[in-house]
């Protein structure tokens, strides 16, 4: 068995490249990122005739110029990693455009096999393609395939094998021949290149790239000795070409490539149908209709939202119960120790709190895969482009923003649908302002406490504020830190296709597993840190004698119970003396029963009051303990920072723990105010405590705005880090949102106090 051969799969977006990749490798795949950039890198393997092939799925590109990260990644791989074979997937129903990339691949000069995909659609369009002749013209074997059904994949494997073993199909390298005036200049530059004393894989390709003013080509020429003369000759050659063609050299060369492509297709493609049927056009008569288009779009969004969060609610509950069950179980079986607390209260509770979002995330990714594979995603971009354009964004950026209302983590991961890195970063940065569902419990609690009659309005205002913050920040970023480099909007609206269920599941899993991996890393570490802050120092000195207080309450209870009993006995004695009936004994009389009822209700009331009082002492104790743990000390430290907003150290601590996940703000409050961690809006204790804790309706608005705007959670932070690929942008996002949150809360508190609003 010979060494593993590397295959690079290249092709346009929407050409069915991924389907071909999947058919080749089956499930033996690994998804990762290309180093340093957030472009998905898929790698798989298969064995054919005892030969192992490693298959790399290059990003889908229309060309190999260097305008996008994807193009750069694809080109770098071909040049630097030198794959043994390139499989160029070409959409047969769209030959002219797809072959433009092919011409660039031919020039690089690696052995190549062309997979002519979507032959069924080409036939529907009435196209007959002479694959033999096309193969001869392109200098590479052409294999007709239908990726969706797997037709022709075996033949493709056979051809790849043959090209690699050179049994019969000697890949005949051809040159793309340009206009003679361009050829003359290529000749000239090649001549200089030959003198530079380095082994270039393909001097002709380098010469063409130099003529195209491709700056990145110099990266391959680091060791080249004659750089200066090469620069001079290149500049001269470009000048010559631009004079002759009255166009930029780059444009002239691209035109020449198209000339080559047209020559090839004219010879090999025959159209049999006069008017091909365009089903997508008919579907679009409704889906992008000038009046119906928007309502239909809104309806699909609504469905997406409802399904994700309503259907997701069931498995969410199951996971929630499973986690609670596990925590309870471990609490009973594990002896109380630091390790047990770390495992149960730190790791399992922390990761469990995030794990409940898994169903939402997977459902959302499934719907996105459905939208992408069916072709409707491109229509969404078409419909929303006008709105997003005003933010300097691409139409497709709308989808991750809307998803943010559900959960920012999948939404930020969803920015991958955007082609340009700048758009991805911009959308990622403004995404946290879309108020996610985890913030809702905080709104419900606080708005419910201070605005019981207008809670709905306050909550709605939070969503609107978030949207406005996103739009304004987007405008700000696109004018400052993320200026320029917005790609021209040229969007392909690919034909609608019936999605394949297995491929939908695969896409969902591919993206979702990233989140699972994250739970085991970043979120786990974060949970442990927060746990440690709440756990250490272990020994605290209580400021009050809580046990004594409880004991006192118990004594009071006994005294009270005793006095009730005494009073009862006295009353019975008195009534008995006034009792005359001989027919009914006193113990069965109405009067006696009344007295018993009175006594019982008094005892019951006493018992309830006692329990409440004991609980209060317990919570006060917990609050006392918390204030002495690191977390409480941290709260005291940051108190000066949040004091100008009218917040106390409690708000500070709640906000800090909110970094782990926003829902935790509520449970932290519960702990700090001493009403227990299991808090919900019906819990009257916390509402009273909030009001007694010095918070006014005005401060509560500031607090809500702060909760809305600052970094949603650790998982979001991790997603930002992952998608931007940089700690710099992650820090920027955290600092910016904290600043914005602080300034707005400050403004609300100061201006509100001055105007004496809601105080």
Task: Considering the complex, state which of residue 480 and residue 581 has its C-beta at the smaller distance from another protein.
Answer: 480
Cα–Cα distance measured from residue 244 to residue 180, given in angstroms and rounded to the nearest whole number: 11
Binding site for another protein (CB under 8 A): 62-63, 65, 67, 93-94, 96-97, 100, 125, 247-248, 250-251, 254-255, 258, 276, 278, 280-281, 284, 288-291, 293-294, 297, 378, 381-383, 385-387, 389, 395, 421-422, 481-485, 487-495, 726, 728-729, 732
Task: Considering the complex, state which of residue 212 and residue 345 has its C-beta at the smaller distance from another protein.
Answer: 212
CB of residue 468 to another protein, shortest distance in Å: 20
Q: Which helix (H) or strand (E) holds 543?
A: none
Q: Which helix (H) or strand (E) holds 143?
A: strand 142-144
Task: Considering the complex, state which of residue 495 and residue 670 has its C-beta at the smaller distance from another protein.
Answer: 495
Residue 714 · residue 530 · CB < 8 Å: no
Q: Which helix (H) or strand (E) holds 519?
A: none
Cα–Cα distance measured from residue 83 to residue 111, given in angstroms and rounded to the nearest whole number: 9
Task: Considering the complex, state which of residue 124 and residue 510 has its C-beta at the smaller distance from another protein.
Answer: 124
Task: Considering the complex, state which of residue 118 and residue 459 has its C-beta at the smaller distance from another protein.
Answer: 118
Task: Considering the complex, state which of residue 134 and residue 449 has its C-beta at the smaller distance from another protein.
Answer: 134
Residue showing tokens 């409880």? 550
CB of residue 269 to another protein, shortest distance in Å: 11
CB of residue 717 to another protein, shortest distance in Å: 16
Query: What is the number of other CB atoms lying within 10 angstroms of the CB of residue 157?
Result: 20
Whole-angstrom Cα Rg for the chain:
35
Task: Considering the complex, state which of residue 392 and residue 702 has its C-beta at the smaller distance from another protein.
Answer: 392
Select from 186, 19, 11, 181 the least CA-distant residue to 112. 11
CB of residue 674 to another protein, shortest distance in Å: 44
CB of residue 547 to another protein, shortest distance in Å: 55
* 285 burial via Cβ count (<10 Å: 0-12, 13-18, 19+): exposed
Cα–Cα distance measured from residue 497 to residue 204, given in angstroms and rounded to the nearest whole number: 40
Cα–Cα distance measured from residue 396 to residue 214, given in angstroms and rounded to the nearest whole number: 29
Task: Considering the complex, state which of residue 294 and residue 751 has its C-beta at the smaller distance from another protein.
Answer: 294
What distance separates the 2 farthest-apart alpha carbons in the chain?
134
CB of residue 495 to another protein, shortest distance in Å: 8
User: What are the tokens at 71?
Assistant: 């193009």
Task: Considering the complex, state which of residue 160 and residue 412 has its C-beta at the smaller distance from another protein.
Answer: 412
Torsion of CA 508, 306, 733, 666, to 10 degrees: -120
Task: Considering the complex, state which of residue 23 and residue 68 has its C-beta at the smaller distance from another protein.
Answer: 68
85-91 and 5-11 beta bridge pairing: parallel
Hey, which residues does 128 pair with through a beta bridge? 270
Cα–Cα distance measured from residue 503 to residue 514, given in angstroms and rounded to the nearest whole number: 17
Cα–Cα distance measured from residue 301 to residue 404, given in angstroms and rounded to the nearest whole number: 12
CB of residue 254 to another protein, shortest distance in Å: 5
CB of residue 477 to another protein, shortest distance in Å: 10
Annotate 717-756 with DSSP letters as a single string.
HHHHHHHH--HHHHHHHHHHHHHHHHHHHHHHHHHHHHTT
Alpha-carbon distances of 188 from 36, 238, 313, 488, rounded to whole Å: 36, 11, 68, 34
Residue showing tokens 């991961």? 413
Task: Considering the complex, state which of residue 41 and residue 487 has its C-beta at the smaller distance from another protein.
Answer: 487
CB of residue 425 to another protein, shortest distance in Å: 9
Hey, which residues does 142 pair with through a beta bridge? 114
CB of residue 684 to another protein, shortest distance in Å: 48
Task: Considering the complex, state which of residue 250 and residue 636 has its C-beta at the smaller distance from another protein.
Answer: 250
CB of residue 396 to another protein, shortest distance in Å: 11
Query: Which residues have C-beta within 8 Å of that of residue 727, sequence separation ≥ 6?
Result: 721
CB of residue 492 to another protein, shortest distance in Å: 6
């Amino acid at each position: 068995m010979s060494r593993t051969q590397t295959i690079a799969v290249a092709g346009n977006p929407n050409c069915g490249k991924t389907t071909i990749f999947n058919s080749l490798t089956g499930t033996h795949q690994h998804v990762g990122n290309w180093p340093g950039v957030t472009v998905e890198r898929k790698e798989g393997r298969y064995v054919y005739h005892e030969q192992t092939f490693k298959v790399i799925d290059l990003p889908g590109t229309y060309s190999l110029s260097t305008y996008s990260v994807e193009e750069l990644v694809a080109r770098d791989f071909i040049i630097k990693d030198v794959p043994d074979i390139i499989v160029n997937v070409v959409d047969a129903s769209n030959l002219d455009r797809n072959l433009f990339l092919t011409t660039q691949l031919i020039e690089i000069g690696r052995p190549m096999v062309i997979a002519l995909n979507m032959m069924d659609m080409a036939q529907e369009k009435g196209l007959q393609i002479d694959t033999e002749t096309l193969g001869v013209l392109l200098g590479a074997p052409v294999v007709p395939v239908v990726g969706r059904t797997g037709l022709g994949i075996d033949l493709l494997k056979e051809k790849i094998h043959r090209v690699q073993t050179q049994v019969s199909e000697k890949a005949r390298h051809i040159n793309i021949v340009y206009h003679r005036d361009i050829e003359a200049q290529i000749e000239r530059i090649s001549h200089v290149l030959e003198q530079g004393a380095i082994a270039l894989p393909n001097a002709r390709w380098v010469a063409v790239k130099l003529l195209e003013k491709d700056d990145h080509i110099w990266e391959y020429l680091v060791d080249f000795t004659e750089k200066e003369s090469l620069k001079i000759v290149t500049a001269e050659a470009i000048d010559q070409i631009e004079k002759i063609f009255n166009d930029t050299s780059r444009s002239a060369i691209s035109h020449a490539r198209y000339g080559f492509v047209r020559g090839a297709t004219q010879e090999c493609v025959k159209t049999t149908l006069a008017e091909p049927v365009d089903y997508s056009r008919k579907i679009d008569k409704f889906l992008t209709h000038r009046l119906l288009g928007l309502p239909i779009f809104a309806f699909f969004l609504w469905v997406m939202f409802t399904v994700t969060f309503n259907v997701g609610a069931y498995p969410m509950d199951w996971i929630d119960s499973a986690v609670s069950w596990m925590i309870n179980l471990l609490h009973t079986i594990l002896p109380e120790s630091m390790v047990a607390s770390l495992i149960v209260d730190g790791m399992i509770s922390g990761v469990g709190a995030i794990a409940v979002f898994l169903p939402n995330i997977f459902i959302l990714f499934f719907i996105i895969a459905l939208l992408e594979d069916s072709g409707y995603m491109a229509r969404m971009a078409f419909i929303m482009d006008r709105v997003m354009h005003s933010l300097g964004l691409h139409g497709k950026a709308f989808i991750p923003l809307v998803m943010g209302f559900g959960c920012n983590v999948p939404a930020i991961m969803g920015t991958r649908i955007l082609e340009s890195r700048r758009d991805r970063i911009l959308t990622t940065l403004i995404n946290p302002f879309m108020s996610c569902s985890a913030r809702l419990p905080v709104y419900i609690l606080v708005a419910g406490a201070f605005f019981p009659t207008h809670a709905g309005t306050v909550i709605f205002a939070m969503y609107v504020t978030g949207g406005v913050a996103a739009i304004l920040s987007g405008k700000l970023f696109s004018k400052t830190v993320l200026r320029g480099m917005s790609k021209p909007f040229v969007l392909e609206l690919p034909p609608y296709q019936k999605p394949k269920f297995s491929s939908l599941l695969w896409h969902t899993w591919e993206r979702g597993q990233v989140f699972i991996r994250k739970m085991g890393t970043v979120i786990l570490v974060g949970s442990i840190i927060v746990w440690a802050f709440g756990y250490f120092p272990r020994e605290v000195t209580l400021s009050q004698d809580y046990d004594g207080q409880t004991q006192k309450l118990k004594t009071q209870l006994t005294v009270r119970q005793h006095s009730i009993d005494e009073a009862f006995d006295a009353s019975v004695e008195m009534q008995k003396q006034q009792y005359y009936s001989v027919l009914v004994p006193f113990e069965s009389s109405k009067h006696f029963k009344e007295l018993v009822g009175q006594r019982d209700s008094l005892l019951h009331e006493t018992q309830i009051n006692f329990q409440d009082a004991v609980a209060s002492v317990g919570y006060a104790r917990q609050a006392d303990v918390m204030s002495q743990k690191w977390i409480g000390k941290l709260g005291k430290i940051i108190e000066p920072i949040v004091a100008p907003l009218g917040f106390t150290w409690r708000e500070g601590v709640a906000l800090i723990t909110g970094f782990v996940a926003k829902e935790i703000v509520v449970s932290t409050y519960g702990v700090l105010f001493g009403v227990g961690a299991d808090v919900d809006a019906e819990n009257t204790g916390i509402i009273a405590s909030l009001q007694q804790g010095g918070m006014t309706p005005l401060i509560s608005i500031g607090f809500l705005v702060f909760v809305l705007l600052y970094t949603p959670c650790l998982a979001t932070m991790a997603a930002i880090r992952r998608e931007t690929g940089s700690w710099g942008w992650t820090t920027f996002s955290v600092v910016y949102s904290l600043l914005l949150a602080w300034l707005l809360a400050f403004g609300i508190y100061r201006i509100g106090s001055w105007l004496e609003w809601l105080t």
